[in-house]
Copies of this chain bind each other. A is one copy, B any other.
Amino acid sequence: MTNLLQGIVEGNPLVQRRAIAKAITLLESTRTDHRAQGDELLTQLLPHSGKSFRLGISGVPGVGKSTFIETLGLYLLEQGHRVAVLTIDPSSSVTGGSILGDKTRMEQLSVQENAYIRPSPSGGNLGGVAEKTREAMLVCEAAGYDVVIVETVGVGQSETAAWGMTDMFVLLQLPNAGDDLQAIKKGVMELADLVVINKADIDPRAATRAQAQITSSLRLLAMHGTAEQHDGRHWLPQVIQISALEGTGVDEFWNTVLAYRQLQSGNGQLDKRRQRQAMTWMWERIEAGLKQAFRQQPVVQTLLPHIQQQVLQGQLAASTAARQLLQAYADSGTPPATAQPGSHGQA
């Protein structure tokens, strides 16, 4: 364990790359003893982590995320940064790997010594995939990567997961009518600290129209936001245009990121955001664990099919069914507290 930690924190490039891969594999293991070792490693790594800037990048398939991230990554390497790219793709459990394989997608970036690209962990639901990604991020940070990019595939709830573990959330958009409405509908637009209109070179007039429209949408969305957002000391979401293919606008993009970082560090929002994220994360994992333990309990597994049937056939009220199952669950072990979801409980 100490060797692994040392390899991650101090190793020469080759040793470090192997140590990172080994650590992530350990953290992704479902074996109980691995899990205990993984937790020990995490706790040891933690003082070395947290020093990167965590950048979430999202957008629907086809918006040009890979090209953008590769361009951005190479730009950052030139400036002396070390860049890690992690992907959240819950669908990767189906194919047993990320859709196109990230190494293939980012050919130029992946061969660079100071870039580390990790495809989405596979297997399980979004909560599990996001947990592994978050832990991999801590490993990369301990290894000295100072920019961690968390990319989402832009489907399902992966955006919310990426937003929940990054310092800044960027939404890539095409200059299409209706595209922004989809983002608003999915609740992704309101997560964005920065909206980037990609492929602006294809139709500059459409891009400018889209920029105006999204800016106006963001203002309307913020209308009911907190007053403190509008005092100039807090960040207001911005909209910029780029062309990842031609490599234009990456400068402006990164300057906007730096301006965000400076403002949000100065006013304490960055620290607050990370603390909120940690608490949310902890409770999400607790709830997932409670529900899993419940579903795996033999008494529950025996009763559930019959009770569900009764509910579906209208013989048992859903709330009564819930109380019966909770009672049986509590009776099966030592009831830590009567498991009654009363009206004063935490729902």
Chain A residues at the B interface, C-beta cutoff of 8 Å = 28, 30, 32, 35, 39, 42-43, 46-47, 50, 121, 123-129, 131-132, 134-135, 138, 178, 181-182, 184-185, 187, 189-190, 217, 220-221, 223-224, 275, 277-279, 281-300, 308, 311-312, 314-323, 325-326, 329-330, 332-347
Contact = CB atoms under 8 A, between A and B. Distances in A.
A21 B35 CA distance: 54
> What is the total number of copies of this protein in its complex?
2
A197 to B, nearest CB: 18
A220 B336 contact: no
Given A39-B323, A182-B220, A184-B181, A30 B343 contact: yes
Contacts of A311: 278-279, 282
Nearest to A189: B185
A336 B297 contact: yes
A91 to B, nearest CB: 14
A338 B32 contact: yes
A290 B279 contact: no
A321 B39 CA distance: 9
A333 to B, nearest CB: 3
B346 A125 contact: yes
A338 B282 CA distance: 18
A127 B92 CA distance: 34
A291 B342 CA distance: 11
Contact of A344 (B123, B335, B336): B123
